[in-house]
Structure 1
Amino acid sequence: MVLINWEKRKNPTKEEISNFSSENDVSQILGELLMSRGLTKKADIGDFIHTDIAGLQDPFGLHDMDKALDIIDQAIQNESKIAIYGDYDADGVTSTSIMKLTLQRLGVKPIFYIPDRFKDGYGPNLDVYKFLADQNIDLLITVDNGVSGKEQIKYLKDRGIKVIVTDHHDLPDELPEADAIVHPTIPGFEYTCPYLSGAGVAFKIADALLGDDALDLIDIAAIGTIADSVPLLGENRVIVTEGLKRMADNKHVGLSALIEKCDLKINQMTEEDIGFKVAPRINALGRLANASSGVELLTTGDESFAKEIVDETEDINSKRQDLVAFAFDDSQVQIKEQKNSGVLVLKSDKWHQGILGIVASRAVEQEHKPTLVLQYDEDSGLYKGSGRSPEGFNLFDALNAHKELFAGFGGHAQACGFSIGKDELEKLVPLLQTEPEKQNFDPTGPMTKLYDLNLNISDLNFDLIKEIDQLAPFGMGNPKPVIKLSNVSLSEPRSIGKDGTHLKTDVVDKNHKIGAIGFGMYSKIDSLNTNACDVYGELGVNEWRGRKNLQLMLDDFQASAEGMKINQMSDIYIDYRNKQISGSILNKFDAIVFFNETYYEAANRAHPQVKLIMYNDSFSGQNVLVYDRPHNLDLFKEFISKNSFEHVALYFHTDLTSRYLGPDMSAMKNFLKYLYTHQNVKADGMELVAEYLQYKKSDIDFYLKVFLELDFVKIVDGFVEKANASQQRELIESPTYLKRLQRNDVEKILIESDFDSLLSWISDFCHS
Structure 2
Amino acid sequence: MLKARAKWKISKTDARQVEEFANELQVSTLVARLLISRGITDKEHAAAFLHGGTDHVHDPFLLSGMQKAVERIRQALERGEKIRVYGDYDADGVSSTTLMVHLLKQLNATFDYYIPHRVHEGYGLNKPALDLARQQGVQLLITVDTGISAVEEIAYATELGMDVIVTDHHEPPELLPDAYSVINPKKPDCPYPFKSLAGVGVALKLAQALLGRWPEELLEFAAIGTVADLMPLLGENRVIVRQGIKKMQSTKNWGIRSLLDVAGVKLKDVNATHIGFALAPRINASGRLNNADDAVRLLITDSEQEAEHLAYDLDSLNKERQRIVDEMTKQAMAMVEERMSSGLNKVIVLAQVDWNVGVIGIVASKLLDKYYRPTLILGIDKESGMAKGSARSIAGFDLYQALTHCHDLMDHFGGHQAAAGMTLPKENLPELERRLNVLADEWLSPDDFIPILQADLECSLDEVGIDTIQQLDQLGPFGMGNPVPKFVFTDVRCQELRTIGREQQHIKMMLCKGTEEASVALDAIGFNKGTVLPWISSTATLNVLGELSINEWNGVRKPQMMIQDVSVPDVQLFDWRGAAKPENKLQELARCLEQLYGKVQEGRKLPALLTFHPDDKQVRFQLIKSYPVWKVDTATGECIPANDLARGLTWSDVTDVVFYDMPPRLSLLEQAVANAAHAQRWYALFSGKLFDQGTIPSRDMFKTVYGAVQQQGNRAFQGNAFTDVLSRRSGYSKELIQFMLDVFTELGFVRKTAEGFMPVANPVKKELGSSRLFQQRKHSAEVEQTLLYSSAQQLYELLKGCQNQTKPSLEDII
SS of aligned partner of 1:196: coil
State the percentage of identical aligned residues: 34
Aligned residues of 1:485 and 1:536 also touching (Cα < 8 A): yes
**Structure 2 residue aligned with 1:496, among 492, 500, 503?**
500
Task: Give the aligned partner of residue 415 of structure 1.
Answer: 419
Matching residue's letter, 2:35: L
Task: Give the aligned partner of residue 528 of structure 2.
Answer: 520
Q: Check if 1:766 corresponds to 2:769.
A: no
1:189 Cα offset (Å): 3.2
Task: Give the aligned partner of residue 590 of structure 2.
Answer: none
Q: How do 1:70-219 and structure 2 match up within 5 A? A: 70-212=71-213, 214-219=215-220
Matching residue's letter, 2:531: S
1:554 Cα offset (Å): 1.2
CA pair 2-416 structure 1, distance change in 2 beyond 3 A: farther
1:315 Cα offset (Å): 1.2
SS of aligned partner of 2:540: coil
Aligned residues of 2:395 and 2:448 also touching (Cα < 8 A): no
1:448 Cα offset (Å): 2.4
Matching residue's letter, 2:368: V
Task: Give the aligned partner of residue 396 of structure 2.
Answer: 392
SS of aligned partner of 2:27: coil
Task: Give the aligned partner of residue 625 of structure 2.
Answer: none
Distance (whole Å) between structure 2 residues aligned to residue 370 and residue 443 of structure 1: 14
1:445 Cα offset (Å): 5.0
Task: Give the aligned partner of residue 559 of structure 1.
Answer: 568
Task: Give the aligned partner of residue 585 of structure 1.
Answer: 690
1:429 Cα offset (Å): 4.4
CA pair 168-400 structure 1, distance change in 2 beyond 3 A: closer
Task: Give the aligned partner of residue 368 of structure 1.
Answer: 372
CA pair 597-480 structure 1, distance change in 2 beyond 3 A: farther
SS of aligned partner of 2:169: coil
**Structure 1 residue aligned with 2:481, among 459, 477, 483?**
477
Distance (whole Å) between structure 1 residues aligned to residue 333 and residue 88 of structure 2: 32
Task: Give the aligned partner of residue 737 of structure 1.
Answer: none
1:625 Cα offset (Å): 5.6
Matching residue's letter, 1:651: T
Q: Check if 1:535 corresponds to 2:544.
A: yes
1:71 Cα offset (Å): 1.2
Q: Check if 1:651 corresponds to 2:651.
A: no
SS of aligned partner of 1:348: strand
Distance (whole Å) between structure 2 residues aligned to residue 533 and residue 189 of structure 1: 50
Moved more, 16-25 or 295-304: 16-25
Q: Check if 1:32 corresponds to 2:36.
A: no
CA pair 605-190 structure 1, distance change in 2 beyond 3 A: farther
Aligned residues of 1:3 and 1:445 also touching (Cα < 8 A): no
1:110 Cα offset (Å): 1.2
Alignment length (residue pairs): 644
Task: Give the aligned partner of residue 549 of structure 1.
Answer: 558
Task: Give the aligned partner of residue 221 of structure 1.
Answer: 222
Matching residue's letter, 2:786: Y
SS of aligned partner of 1:338: helix
1:411 Cα offset (Å): 3.2
Q: Check if 1:310 corresponds to 2:445.
A: no
CA pair 183-532 structure 1, distance change in 2 beyond 3 A: same
1:344 Cα offset (Å): 2.9
Q: Alpha-carbon deviations, 1:96-121, whole Å to 9, x = none?
A: 11111101101113111111111221
1:626 Cα offset (Å): 10
Distance (whole Å) between structure 1 residues aligned to residue 494 and residue 64 of structure 2: 54
SS of aligned partner of 2:475: coil
Task: Give the aligned partner of residue 728 of structure 1.
Answer: none
Aligned residues of 1:232 and 1:478 also touching (Cα < 8 A): yes
SS of aligned partner of 1:474: coil
Q: Check if 1:333 corresponds to 2:354.
A: no
TM-score, structure 1 normalization:
0.75
Moved more, 55-64 or 27-36: 55-64
CA pair 614-31 structure 1, distance change in 2 beyond 3 A: farther
Aligned residues of 1:394 and 1:413 also touching (Cα < 8 A): yes
Q: Alpha-carbon deviations, 1:576-623, whole Å to 9, x = none?
A: xxx9x9x9737599xx99xx99999999979959999999xxxxx9x9
Distance (whole Å) between structure 1 residues aligned to residue 274 and residue 767 of structure 2: 68
1:430 Cα offset (Å): 5.0
Structure 1 runs of 4+ with >6 Å offset: 564-571, 596-607, 609-615, 750-753, 761-765
Distance (whole Å) between structure 2 residues aligned to residue 295 and residue 513 of structure 1: 47
Aligned residues of 1:323 and 1:351 also touching (Cα < 8 A): no
Q: Alpha-carbon deviations, 1:743-764, whole Å to 9, x = none?
A: xxxxxxx999754456667767
Distance (whole Å) between structure 2 residues aligned to residue 280 and residue 28 of structure 1: 37
Matching residue's letter, 2:806: C
Distance (whole Å) between structure 1 residues aligned to residue 5 and residue 280 of structure 2: 29
SS of aligned partner of 2:124: coil
Task: Give the aligned partner of residue 232 of structure 2.
Answer: 231
Task: Give the aligned partner of residue 45 of structure 2.
Answer: 44
Matching residue's letter, 1:47: A
1:413 Cα offset (Å): 3.0
Matching residue's letter, 2:543: D
Task: Give the aligned partner of residue 744 of structure 1.
Answer: none
Q: How do 1:405-444 and structure 2 match up within 5 A? A: 405-429=409-433, 432-442=436-446
1:29 Cα offset (Å): 1.6
Q: Check if 1:451 corresponds to 2:455.
A: yes
Aligned residues of 1:370 and 1:389 also touching (Cα < 8 A): yes
SS of aligned partner of 2:336: helix
Distance (whole Å) between structure 1 residues aligned to residue 572 and residue 269 of structure 2: 41
CA pair 164-419 structure 1, distance change in 2 beyond 3 A: closer
CA pair 3-395 structure 1, distance change in 2 beyond 3 A: farther
SS of aligned partner of 2:786: strand
Q: How do 1:235-246 and structure 2 match up within 5 A? A: 235-246=236-247
CA pair 396-146 structure 1, distance change in 2 beyond 3 A: closer
Task: Give the aligned partner of residue 271 of structure 1.
Answer: 272
SS of aligned partner of 1:542: strand
Distance (whole Å) between structure 1 residues aligned to residue 232 and residue 534 of structure 2: 36
Aligned residues of 2:499 and 2:533 also touching (Cα < 8 A): no
Moved more, 97-106 or 147-156: 147-156
1:355 Cα offset (Å): 1.0
SS of aligned partner of 2:353: coil
CA pair 610-243 structure 1, distance change in 2 beyond 3 A: farther
CA pair 565-478 structure 1, distance change in 2 beyond 3 A: farther
CA pair 753-324 structure 1, distance change in 2 beyond 3 A: closer
User: Which ranges of structure 1 fall in alignment gaps of 5 or more residues?
Assistant: 616-620, 629-647, 655-749
SS of aligned partner of 1:651: helix
Matching residue's letter, 1:525: L
Distance (whole Å) between structure 1 residues aligned to residue 801 and residue 702 of structure 2: 26
Q: Alpha-carbon deviations, 1:466-507, whole Å to 9, x = none?
A: 222211111111111111111223454333334432223333
1:155 Cα offset (Å): 2.0
Matching residue's letter, 2:121: D
Q: Alpha-carbon deviations, 1:343-372, whole Å to 9, x = none?
A: 333333353221111111111111222322
Matching residue's letter, 1:516: A
SS of aligned partner of 2:215: helix
Distance (whole Å) between structure 2 residues aligned to residue 653 and residue 229 of structure 1: 56
CA pair 653-173 structure 1, distance change in 2 beyond 3 A: closer
